[in-house]
Chain A
Amino acid sequence: MRRFCKEILRTFLMPVFMVVILLGGCSPLSEKEDHDAGREHDEVLEHEHMHEAQRGDTVVLPDSLLKEFGIRTAVAGPGILKGYAYLPGEVVIPSSALAHVHPRFPGIVKEVFRQTGDRVHAGETLAVIESNVSLTDYPVRSRIDGVVTEMHLVKGEMVDEKDHGFLVADLSRVWVYLKIYQKDLPYVREGQGVLLSAGEGFPVVAERIDYISPLIDAFTRTGQARIVLQNEDYRWMPGLFVSGKVEVRRKRVDVLIPRSAVERLEDMPVVFIRRGDRYFPRMITIGLENDEYVEVLEGVAPGEEYVTEHGFVLKAELQKGLFGEGHAH
């Protein structure tokens, strides 16, 4: 009987052994170690320096890669930063450049010499009217050089002194009224340079703001800036819609960099500084900026070499450790 018990004990070892093996084989637990080891091997081909780079918030990039990845650098230096306001507006006839021509006495129109669109000179006879008072002909003359924009006289027509004869506009000079939105009001000043254009096909002309209305339009809540345009060739037709790019600011700054150089790292603007084959992000304080350039107040010293293009590659390399896990799902 004792021997039998011993036998049972001995044979009992066997199922235990069996269970151990089965569990060992089926356990996904052990799989992870292996899987991970494989993955690490897969994902990070360990270049000595790359490793170091990830530790110290520095990216090491051999020069040979610069060209392949299109990374460009430049040396930080001063520059002029201009600030712009973009304002819509339209071409209008200056009120001082309009001249009405009225018949002096009631009478009958005998001759009309000029049509709408004709260019006329000051003193030029536009029409002849036979006066009802004197029964003599008298000429109707333009008071200014300009273009006939309205003509209301028809031969044989009976007119009196209240009738509108001609409207002559001097378009050699026109005004552009730009609307200034509330947000731009503090910056737009008289005398600032402005680039005007009426869109594709029209020339871009540089002018200055001549005058700013002291009043705000009660309806649209916009201010008004006036620009005087030379218009010898009559290209700027009144009523034409133009947009103005007003240079509201012009400042010489110590460090001016292109916008493309600014990357965002943890919601902070940074610029990648280059030292040999090492690149590291430097947090910057941005001063003024426009569509293309930004002023760096702090973070990049003049003379330092920084990445101007495709710094994103470096940023991504820095964050590589973070986005590796759970790729997307």
Chain B
Amino acid sequence: MNRWIDISLNNPLLVLTLAVLLMAAGYFSYRQLPVDAFPDVSPSLVQVFTETEGLAPEEIEKYVTFPVEAAMNGLPGVEKIRSVSNFGLSVVNIYFRDGTDIYFARQLVNERLQEAREQIPEGFGDPQMGPISTGMGLILFYYLEDTTGRYSLTELRTLQDWLVKYQLQTVPGVTEVLGIGGWEKQFQVVVRPEELLRYDVTLDRIIRKIRSNNLNVGAQFLEKNSEEFIVRSVGLVTRKEDLENIVIKEHNGTPVYLAQLADIRVGGAVRRGVQTMDGVREVVSGMVVKLYGTNSSTVIGRVEAKMREINKALPEGVRLVPYYQQKELVEAAVNTVVRALLQGIVLVSVVLVLFMGSVMPSVVVAVSIPFSILFAMIGMRFLGLSVNLMSFGGLAIAIGMMVDGTIVMVDNIDRMLREAPPDMLKKEVVARAAREVVRPILFAITIIIVVFLPLFTLQGVEGKTFRPLAYTVALAMLGSLLFAVTMAPVLSLLLMRRPGGKYSDAKGPVQPGESRIVKTLHGLFVPFIRYFVRHRLLAVMLALVLLGVGMLVYPRLGSEFTPALQEGTIILRLTMAPSISLKESTRITRIVERRVLKVPEVEHVVTRIGRGEVGAHTDPINSAEMYILLKPRDAWEGVATQQEMEEKIRRAVGEVPGVLTNFTQPIQMTVDELLEGVRAELAIKLFGEDLAVLKEKAGEIAAVIRRVRGAADVQVDQVSGTPQLLIRVDRQRIARYGINVEDVQRVVRAAIGGEKAGELFEGIRRFDILVRYRQQDRADVADIRRLLVAAPGGARVPLAQLAEIRELTGPRQITRENSQRFITIQSNVVDRDIGSFVEEGQRAIEAAVALPPGYFVTWGGQFRLQQEANKRLSLVIPVTLLLIFLLLYSSFGSVRNTFLILLNIPLALVGGVIALWLSGQNLSVPASVGFIALFGIALENGMVLVTYLNQLVRQGVPVDEASVRGASLRLRPVLMTAVTTALGLIPLLLATGTGSEVQRPLATVVTGGLATSTLLTLLVIPAIYKWFAAIPEHQREK
């Protein structure tokens, strides 16, 4: 280390050049870092969607979900496969181990998907992987505004699907554009059933005929006089009229045209989602999905530019209007931390000048901030971290700490320059001063990095949220270490002057060159220090009292996981009855929209009901997400924050009969959806085959659990609730007519649901041709009973005579995990230790619930995660402590000293706890991060002091005298490091912008903790130093 300093001091120019290069590299890294709002907490997940028109959950599960799941089993790195079979849609989520490369995972899934495709029956859909994106990928939503009122929803949707979508998808960084709302254009062949009878035609025949009258073929080429003519035969249906003129049948030379049997219309396809706006109209809209790993802000910028281009290409009066943009959030979040960062830098510099009393040393110290930050940037680039609230938050936290090492260094150099005999070479003085403190600095900074170790072991969402912070802190500290041991001495040598020859040998507490503030503080502190050193027990008492207060306050703290990040966009989520129809959910949604619009600050409301093109959302039609677009903040009346605004809207909406409402935010919502975790502490999963048995047994289990002491909010998943019209073909009855089951089902499918009979091409745009019965002939159960099925002999038999038709309530969705159906029973546990609750519950269930063979129960939920986290932390924290202990021990070579320094930790914790309590905040993960940072700072302070005390004692100063003198001499660096750290955090403490709610608890803890720890470092440690000092032999004998 000493050699290092000598080399630096001998080559100042080299050091400076390297430093400038390093900082430049940092700056370029920064320019290349992706910018996001938050760290992406989405799991490593590949989603497989399969859309199958009109199939019920049971069939979806059997024909689609199961083959997909089966194919995915056994892939390397798969942690869990979870599936949801909904009406018409199968979603299989394949969760890979955290950190699995997403492209690798997709490749694996894709290979197996081929296998699955072969297993899925023809016409039951084609499984597709979701977009290459994450929960943060939905970067921009827009709708098509038609000011002319001339365009129908079908036309607008066609514009969206065939013009806007493909244009936007060409933007680099955009992986998908998904449309929703309006009507997808479709050519509908609306069959009049009585005409089928009249002309003796079956639906099947119509479908066949349409298919065989709609194609183009190529026939190679023809050679003609040394030229080749490509031969093509054109027979595609391109217009409605072409369809109408398809001949279905011929009788004695008289053709029967399709138009005679059916009306051909351009209409909207069956839809499972609607986009409404302002309680009055429907709109067509789209969502832009960002490619995984791309830079949100650049992609959004490009998308915006492209949208301006598209607007020009759109018909007069139609334009794209964005209604949600992640850009605003990204900017706001980054602004919040950047502002805090800059303010922190300013505040720290001011403090430096005040304490150092002169400008040059302050400059040396201040330069360490940009140096450390830019150094961290290089590291971020290597680690693939993005600029976001958390990673920059880490820098903001570290501002105060970045300067610590340099402060100690510069302080010592400053002091030595003043104390050193004038004949000594300046370089020699600087080198000696630097050598004196280099070891403690090295250890102190290492310890700060080490205390952040537990953060690196956090898993799941917390891990992904806070690891970037830990990384940047560690990187910045590393940078500051580098600066303190190389740049600081060099810069000091170049910039700092020795006091004009005034050699002072005064060993008094106040140095002549020191600033007024330090002098005043000295005046205040020294008497106290003297007093406490004389009355050691009092010092111990003071420490104990503080500890006691901490212990008292601690249980009063509420706790929460992570405070919700305010994204600045409010979504009101409506959940309606599962059996609801799309028409009814649209009607209800509009009522709620009108209520929301009554709030004067609300400008527009755009709501997505159900789902559009698959890829991003899989919501059923009973769920609606209402984006509330607010007027600019200066137009708000009587509300200031997002929460207050939510409250105001909540009041305006009031109670909506039959609808559950809750507020959420875009990213939060998407990520929650991907995580699909059970939010209750305890989730009992009952696995088994039969849905009815599952439901019944789950009910029994819930009843048993409710009786266990401590159970609260026990709830069974509602798996049923969707009404079904079950048509069960009677085999005996069809046998009489010689009809096959399939014949009946084809009629059912084509007549009621409609069947695709090919596509109609308009240029490259293609639209489905759907054959279906006239609405009035399939509207009702009675109509369906009357559907006629053709017997091979030619007789027509009504469906009611061939099948049993019943109304019943079926499953609303079937969820499976690792290829087994399950149902979840959730519970919270109050006033009781969860471990014993689980034990008791397990016993009770074993005793009271008889499960049929093949049925089993697993216990999971948040408590499992927590147990795992606890297990990990119970290993990591002692290891960290041990590491710190070893570091301290190797630095001081004394167990006693080490304990003395470790004593700082509880005393620092007390301050943090009290500060949280006073500010009314909860114990949360960010607060814990604050505590971790606090350990580091407290240890650092302790080290600085104890090192000096030891030094004095070694020089032969009596312990008591050394305690007082050491404390007062080290007042400046200790106070400075504490105050800079605290002030560096003040902007975060006071910030109100987006993301500040996550940083505030952290800042609170550190600031509060610093207050107590500094106090105690300065008063208690010197007082009890005597008990812990490694007193040299000769002194002890006295």
| Chain A residues at the B interface, C-beta cutoff of 8 Å | 3, 7-8, 11, 13-15, 17-36, 39, 42-45, 47, 50, 59, 61, 65, 68-70, 86, 88, 181-183, 199, 219-222, 241, 243, 264, 266-267, 290-291, 312-317, 319-320, 322-329
Task: Find chain A residues with CB under 8 A from B718 CB.
Answer: 322-323, 325-326
Known contacts A27-B869, A323-B578; decide if A328 and B679 are in contact (CB<8 Å). Answer: no
Check if A325 sits within 8 Å of B659, measured CB to CB.
Answer: no
- In angstroms, Cα B575 to Cα A316, docked, is 10
Task: Find chain A residues with CB under 8 A from B869 CB.
Answer: 26-28
- In angstroms, Cα B654 to Cα A312, docked, is 19
Check if A15 sits within 8 Å of B795, measured CB to CB.
Answer: no
Check if A313 sits within 8 Å of B658, measured CB to CB.
Answer: yes
Q: Kindly state whether residue B809 has any CB partner on chain A within 8 Å.
A: yes
- In angstroms, Cα B796 to Cα A214, docked, is 20
Check if B661 sits within 8 Å of A329, measured CB to CB.
Answer: no
Q: What 5 new A-B contacts, CB under 8 Å, besides A220-B795, A316-B580?
A: A14-B902, A28-B561, A45-B653, A61-B657, A323-B576
- In angstroms, Cα B931 to Cα A22, docked, is 8
Task: Find chain A residues with CB under 8 A from B715 CB.
Answer: 325
Known contacts A32-B828, A324-B660; decide if A26 and B928 are in contact (CB<8 Å). Answer: yes
Q: Kindly state whether residue B650 has any CB partner on chain A within 8 Å.
A: yes
Check if A36 sits within 8 Å of B713, measured CB to CB.
Answer: yes
Known contacts A11-B902, A21-B909; decide if A34 and B922 are in contact (CB<8 Å). Answer: yes
Q: Kindly state whether residue B505 has any CB partner on chain A within 8 Å.
A: no
Known contacts A39-B662, A183-B800, A323-B575; decide if A329 and B84 are in contact (CB<8 Å). Answer: yes
Q: Kindly state whether residue B559 has any CB partner on chain A within 8 Å.
A: yes
- In angstroms, Cα B931 to Cα A264, docked, is 57
Chain A nearest CB: distance from B377 CB in Å?
A: 29
Check if A21 sits within 8 Å of B723, measured CB to CB.
Answer: no
Query: Which of B616-624, B841-849, B979-987 lines the interface with chain A?
Result: B616-624
Query: Which of B267-275, B417-425, B858-866 lines the interface with chain A?
Result: B858-866
Task: Find chain B residues with CB under 8 A from A219 CB.
Answer: 793-795
Check if A65 sits within 8 Å of B657, measured CB to CB.
Answer: yes
Task: Find chain B residues with CB under 8 A from A23 CB.
Answer: 870, 873
Check if B462 sits within 8 Å of A50, measured CB to CB.
Answer: no
Task: Find chain A residues with CB under 8 A from B797 CB.
Answer: 181, 221
Task: Find chain A residues with CB under 8 A from B657 CB.
Answer: 59, 61, 65, 69, 313-314, 316-317
Known contacts A26-B925, A325-B715, A326-B718; decide if A31 and B561 are in contact (CB<8 Å). Answer: yes
Check if A316 sits within 8 Å of B658, measured CB to CB.
Answer: yes
In the complex formed, the residue of B with least CB distance to A28 is B862
Check if B873 sits within 8 Å of A182, measured CB to CB.
Answer: no
Task: Find chain B residues with CB under 8 A from A32 CB.
Answer: 679-681, 828, 862
Q: How many residues of B contact A (CB 8 A)?
A: 104
The 5 A-B residue pairs whose C-beta atoms are closest, nearest first, are A316-B658, A25-B928, A31-B561, A30-B559, A316-B577
Q: Kindly state whether residue B834 has any CB partner on chain A within 8 Å.
A: yes
Task: Find chain A residues with CB under 8 A from B650 CB.
Answer: 42, 45
Residue of A11, A29, A86 ringed by the most chain B CB atoms within 10 A: A29
- In angstroms, Cα B656 to Cα A69, docked, is 10
Cβ contact of B925, chosen from A11, A15, A25, A326, cutoff 8 A: A25
- In angstroms, Cα B903 to Cα A69, docked, is 67
Q: Kindly state whether residue B798 has any CB partner on chain A within 8 Å.
A: yes
Q: Kindly state whether residue B71 has any CB partner on chain A within 8 Å.
A: no
Check if A316 sits within 8 Å of B881, measured CB to CB.
Answer: no
Check if A30 sits within 8 Å of B194, measured CB to CB.
Answer: no
- In angstroms, Cα B620 to Cα A162, docked, is 75
Task: Find chain B residues with CB under 8 A from A21 CB.
Answer: 554, 909, 913, 923, 928, 931
Chain A nearest CB: distance from B752 CB in Å?
A: 17
Task: Find chain A residues with CB under 8 A from B881 CB.
Answer: 15, 18
Chain A nearest CB: distance from B350 CB in Å?
A: 32
Q: Kindly state whether residue B316 has any CB partner on chain A within 8 Å.
A: no
Check if A326 sits within 8 Å of B923, measured CB to CB.
Answer: no
Interface residues of B in 903-961 (CB under 8 A from A): 903, 905-906, 909, 913, 922-925, 927-928, 931-932, 935
- In angstroms, Cα B782 to Cα A86, docked, is 10
Interface residues of B in 870-907 (CB under 8 A from A): 870, 873-874, 877-878, 881, 896, 899, 902-903, 905-906
Query: Which of B2-10, B351-359, B583-591 lines the interface with chain A?
Result: B583-591
Check if A319 sits within 8 Å of B577, measured CB to CB.
Answer: yes
- A-B CB contact pairs (8 Å), 28 listed: A18-B877, A21-B913, A22-B928, A25-B923, A29-B834, A30-B560, A32-B828, A33-B828, A34-B561, A35-B560, A36-B713, A45-B653, A45-B661, A69-B588, A88-B796, A219-B794, A243-B194, A267-B808, A291-B780, A315-B577, A316-B657, A320-B660, A323-B575, A324-B660, A326-B824, A327-B575, A328-B620, A328-B623
Task: Find chain B residues with CB under 8 A from A325 CB.
Answer: 715, 717-718, 826
Interface residues of B in 303-343 (CB under 8 A from A): none
Task: Find chain B residues with CB under 8 A from A7 CB.
Answer: 896, 899, 1027-1028
Check if A315 sits within 8 Å of B658, measured CB to CB.
Answer: yes
Check if B458 sits within 8 Å of A26, measured CB to CB.
Answer: yes
Cβ contact of B679, chosen from A35, A65, A264, A290, cutoff 8 A: A35
Task: Find chain A residues with CB under 8 A from B197 CB.
Answer: 88, 241
Check if B558 sits within 8 Å of A34, measured CB to CB.
Answer: yes
Q: Kindly state whether residue B673 has any CB partner on chain A within 8 Å.
A: yes
Check if A317 sits within 8 Å of B658, measured CB to CB.
Answer: yes
Task: Find chain A residues with CB under 8 A from B795 CB.
Answer: 219-222
Chain B nearest CB: distance from A196 CB in Å?
A: 13
Check if B798 sits within 8 Å of A181, measured CB to CB.
Answer: yes
- In angstroms, Cα B794 to Cα A122, docked, is 41
